Structures are given as C-alpha cells and as structure tokens.
Chains A and B, each alone.
Chain A
C-alpha cells in the first residue's frame, strides 16, 4: 500500500486547480490520477471561446484554458501525474484502487479530492419512445467525435433540448457542412446561455422550437425521422400539432449530472435527486478527509467558477492534512 498526503482524482480544470492550490498551501506529496492520456478533461473538446474572462481576465478557448493549468501543474515537481489511470474502487478509509497500463495500484492518502466531473443525461432519462436505431448521440459525444476524432456523426440533425452543448453543436454541425433541421425544447425558453442562442443559433438561422417535444424516434437500422408535437403549459401534447422531421441523426442535450459512483461506493451520502454529495458546505462530504470539487460536486455554468471553488477544495484539504499531522 502506497501512502500519500493527498490524492486528487481527475485531471480536468477542477482537479488541476485543487492540486495546485493544495500545493500552494503547503501539501508537498500529491498524486493526481487521470483516466485519459491527456490532462485538461472536457475542456480539450470545447474548442469554442467563452472561458477565462473571470479568472484570467482574457477570453480563451477550452484547450487554451486547460493549457494554462497544464503548464502550471507540470512545473510543480511535488505533484506526480499519473495518466491513463482509471479508478475502480474507493474505500471509506480513502484507499483508492486504480488500473493503469502495467497493473493495479492502491494508494491511501491523508486526504482525497474527487474531481471526476459530470456526465450527460441520456435519452433514457427523458423517456423518448420509438425504435433503437443508430444515429442517436449525446451532444457531448458528438462534440468529441467532431472536435477530437474528426468524424461527422451525420448529415441531417435534430437536436433535442437546448442546453449549451446542444446549441454549440448546432453551430459546429452547420460549419462542418451538416444541416441542423431543428432544435426542440420542451420548455418555453432555452436552458442555455443567451450568448449561445445568438452566436450559435441565430447567426446561422437554425430553427429552434420552444414548447415542443419529441413523440417518437423512427428508423430501423439508422435514424430516419422524429415525430414532434407542441405541448401545452402542463407539458401535454396538443392534438393536431404533430409534425414529422426527416433526419439521420438525433442529438440529446438535456443537461448534466454529477458523476459520483466512486464516493458513493466509499459510503459518502449522496442526494439521489441531484447526484451531488449531501453537504452543508461547498466541497465537503459526509466522510471527513474526502472532498469533492468542480462538476462532480454540482454542475457549474462557468469553468471559471469551477476553478475558484476547486482552489478552495485544495485549501480545505491542506488544512485537513495539517490538522491530522
């Protein structure tokens, strides 16, 4: 069993900010584990601008925002970075078990910071009936395919939900030569930021329909169409408003949910509704010495706020370690 002062799980903006802040506050023995082969997390696929104005007073793209922290963290020899390291078990005594090419490792730190981010809500969570053809993607997966892998998932796209990633992908698909036939939002207004409606939707005349829901996804092997209808104030379908839209791809952009299976396994109390740890203060959990920060604590709108709050997590962990020494 390896011992450490601090282990940080997750090498995205939250984990990097927490590790750097802990180091600035006196923690000198830190291991950061990241499952991907790069640091930066989801920022690497967010190639659009909109990051950094609060924290860096500069408008940056996602990869640039990540790059600032990657440089910072790599310049600190006290922080060991373990990439391609996938955490498979977490115990209540803070023992972390992770897989990495070459084997399985166990480490028990004095304090643990979980910065595992969030995942996307899926079609299953919003109950859309119909067949199960290929061509249905979460918006973030489509973003990864286009921006990292260079693959265009489809040519005629309908987007369900108007979360920010969906709006941003509407523009991305359009620029890559696909046709976005509709964005459907069941609520009377967008869930995304107004700036994204302007620069991603209005700039490209993409039709966005509020108070509309998907009744059915159709198609045998591949998506062929979606059937949509207007809804009333009670979210009930208005009879006679059914329309069929032909498309080969459906994107689902219906929000994010914190990823917390590991701390749940360790026995941390989780709020089943939000999937956040039950806690009176930001970054703390029901188990002393286990901290959670960034989108795994709660889903944030801005990465700048993730950084600020995660720095606080780093300081809290440093205090906790000092208190035990």
Chain B
C-alpha cells in the first residue's frame, strides 16, 4: 500500500509517498529533506499537528498572547486543546518562547508563548 501526502513542515509542500508493506514502512520517497521523512513516518501512523492559538491576557500590553505547542499534538486532540486554551489566562509578563503550561492536556507537551508581553498600557520605545 502507498500513502501519498503533502508535507506540511515547510512552505515547499513536497508530495511524499510512503510505501507500506506488511504493516511496516518500506520506503519514503519525494521528501526534499530529512524533516519531511520524519513527518511522513509520523503522518502514516498517527497524524499530529503543531497547535497554535491565542490566550487571553490580563493587565498586559497585549489583549491576547499567541501560543504554540513545542511538539505536534495528535490531530484528534485539537478541539480538546481549544477548550483548554479558552480557560487559560496570562497575567504575568512573558517572553517569546516562555513556557505557559508544562504538561499541556497531560500529553507531556509544553505550551509556549510566542510573543513578548509587558505590564499594562501601550509599549513605547
């Protein structure tokens, strides 16, 4: 059996084929880089996506803090992730890359802020 997929790891969008024989991956073709091979192997078994969203900020200069997971989460957990994000609030200043939740959804994955926010008001130079 051959699974065909578009690699979503970078904008080049390579078309990758994964040949599966006896329930094992026999060959991966079409990926232009190792990142794509890794993606294809995972996509053939458990599709997962890096999850991005925004968290409501309180008392900071931004209304919303953009966030992402540090690793892809299983596709089936995406709406659970959305529910969880809605409950969160960020009230302390954050830096890009700072951990917001250590063990997001109990998946052993971190939720990271992707933009800096400082205390109240508008930020001038």
Contact = CB atoms under 8 A, between A and B. Distances in A.
B52 interface: yes
Interface stretch (A91-99, A192-200, A223-231, A236-244): A192-200
A69 to B, nearest CB: 11
B110 interface: no
Given A195-B11, A197-B6, A37 B123 contact: yes
A67 B8 contact: no
A61 interface: yes
B45 interface: no
Contacts of B35: 53
B50 interface: yes
A30 to B, nearest CB: 14
B43 to A, nearest CB: 10
Interface stretch (A42-50, A117-125, A259-267): A42-50
> What 6 A-B pairs come out closest when comparing CB atoms?
A63-B115, A194-B13, A47-B66, A195-B8, A67-B96, A53-B10
B7 A150 contact: no
B124 A83 contact: yes
Interface residues of A, number: 35
Interface string B52-67: 1110100000111010
Contacts of A82: 125
B75 interface: yes
B55 to A, nearest CB: 10
Interface string A168-201: 0000000100000000000000000111011100
A203 interface: yes
Interface in B87-125: 96-97, 114-116, 122-125
A197 B13 CA distance: 10
Given A147-B54, A150-B63, A53 B116 contact: no
Nearest to B64: A150
Contact of B52 (A37, A38, A61, A66): A61
